[in-house]
């Protein structure tokens, strides 16, 4: 399937995470400077705000940007002193995405080893086959085993497309060789996996549709941004009343304490690959079942507290 993507009032500039944080540090100044340049070029768009994610920055404007606006913004970003221009891609408007899957590929690289096919192996395979020549991937390919006992994989790929889904149509039902085997591209539904929110770290909704006010910490589930855990997390604060007394975590040092996963309550970060929620990230039914159980448990424990206090 093909989706429309973000509104065209978004300008996407993929860049390294170092560049992203350097640019975001001065976001207000950067917005003011870009808007000044747009105005002096007699453009009628203005930047409203800038947001960042792990792929780079998105500049949100009041109107749809034209080619001239894009080149002004591009020029500004690449010439910013705090930015390494080698690690910035060209600005672009959001595109549509098409979702495809590839079947017929082995899950293990060699018949006698347990080494699994990785996303980068898939990227290499795609580069070697001409049918993918003009295709660009919108995210890393996802590889899963067809079933627990199978030795075959299903690979999900998201590609950049036009709204008519033309790029996907050129690929659907095409075959190509992977070693001795023949793989086939098929149409797929969007998001085979369960999304994890990067704001509250719960599974089942995306970061942009998160309903909570503020943010949750990936380490301790406290009401603060993960990067401020040392300053705001309870475990990193000095406590003389406990035995042995706890010292404050020094500035610049990582938190040495055990983490607490907000999903399974295990001793790991909420996005850890040892978390059962992560391991079942392609199994929507499992997630729904677990969250229901968790809700019921909470409800039960509230009930038992109420019952317990009324008996006393």
Residues in contact with Zn ion by CB under 5 A are: 197, 199-200, 210, 217, 219-220, 222, 229, 233, 235-236, 255, 257, 261, 263-264, 266, 275
- Residue 151: CB minimum distance to Zn ion, A: 29
- C-beta closer to Zn ion: residue 133 or 209: 209
Minimum CB separation of residue 295 from Zn ion in Å reads: 16
Tell me how far, at minimum, the Cβ of 5 lies from Zn ion, in Å.
21
Nearest CB to Zn ion, comparing residues 13 and 275 = 275
When the beta carbons of 78 and 280 are compared against Zn ion, the nearer one is 280
| Minimum CB–partner distance for residue 288 and Zn ion (Å) | 16
Query: Residue 281: exposed, middle, or buried by beta-carbon count in 10 A (0-12, 13-18, 19+)?
Result: buried
- Min dist. Cβ of residue 201 to Zn ion (A): 7
Between helix 27-40 and helix 67-78 the angle, nearest 10°, is 140
CB of 11 to Zn ion, least distance (A): 25
Q: Which is nearer to Zn ion, 86 or 238 (CB)?
A: 238
Using the minimum distance from each CB to Zn ion, give the nearer residue, 92 or 205.
205
DSSP the chain: -EE--S-TTEEEEEB-HHHHHHHHHTHHHHHHHHHHHHHHTT----EEEEEEETTEEEEEESS---HHHHHHHHHHHHT-TTS-GGGBPPPB---EEEEEEEEEEESBSSTT--PBP-HHHHHHHHHHSGGGTT--BSS--EEEESSTT-SEEEEEEEEEE-TT-HHHHHHTT-EEEETTEEEEEEE--S-SSPPB-TTT--BSS-GGG--SSS---TTT--SS-GGGHHHH-GGGS-BSSSSSPBPPPPTTSPP-SPP--TTT--SS-TT-TTSHHHHTTT-HHHHHHHHHHHHHHHHHHHHHHHHHHHH-
Least distance in angstroms from the C-beta of 206 to Zn ion: 8
Indicate the residue among 36 and 237 with the shorter CB distance to Zn ion: 237
| Min dist. Cβ of residue 42 to Zn ion (A) | 41
For Zn ion, give the closer residue by CB, 165 or 233: 233
Spatial distance between the Cα atoms of 297 and 67, rounded to a whole number of angstroms: 55
| Minimum CB distance to Zn ion smaller for 265 or for 311 | 265
């Amino acid at each position: 399937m093909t989706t429309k993507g973000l509104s065209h009032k978004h300008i996407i500039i993929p860049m390294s995470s170092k560049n992203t944080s350097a640019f975001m540090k001065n976001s207000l100044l950067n917005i003011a400077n870009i808007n000044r340049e747009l105005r002096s070029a007699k453009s009628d768009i203005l930047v409203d705000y800038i947001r960042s994610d792990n792929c780079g920055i998105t500049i949100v404007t009041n109107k749809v940007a034209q080619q001239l606006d894009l080149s002004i913004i591009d020029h500004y970003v690449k010439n910013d002193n705090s930015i390494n221009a080698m690690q910035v891609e060209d600005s672009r408007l959001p595109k549509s995405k098409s979702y495809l899957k590839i079947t017929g590929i082995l899950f293990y690289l060699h018949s006698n080893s347990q080494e699994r096919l990785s996303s980068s192996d898939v990227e290499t395979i795609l580069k070697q086959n001409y049918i993918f020549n003009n295709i660009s991937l919108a995210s890393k390919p996802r590889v899963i085993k067809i079933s627990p006992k199978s030795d075959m994989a299903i690979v999900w790929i998201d590609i950049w497309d036009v709204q008519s889904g033309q790029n996907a149509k050129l690929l659907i039902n095409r075959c190509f060789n992977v070693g001795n085997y023949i793989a086939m591209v098929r149409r797929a539904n969007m998001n085979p996996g369960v999304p994890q929110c990067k704001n509250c770290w719960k599974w089942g909704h995306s970061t942009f549709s998160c309903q909570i006010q503020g943010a949750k910490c990936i380490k301790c589930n406290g009401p603060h941004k993960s990067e401020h855990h040392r300053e705001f997390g309870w475990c990193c604060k000095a406590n003389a009343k406990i035995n042995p007394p706890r010292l404050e975590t020094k500035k610049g040092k990582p938190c040495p304490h055990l983490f607490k996963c907000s999903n399974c309550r295990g001793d790991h970060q909420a996005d850890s690959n040892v978390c059962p929620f992560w391991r079942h990230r392609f199994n929507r039914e499992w997630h729904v079942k677990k969250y229901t159980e968790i809700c019921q448990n909470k409800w039960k424990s509230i009930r038992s507290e109420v019952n317990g206090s009324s008996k006393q």
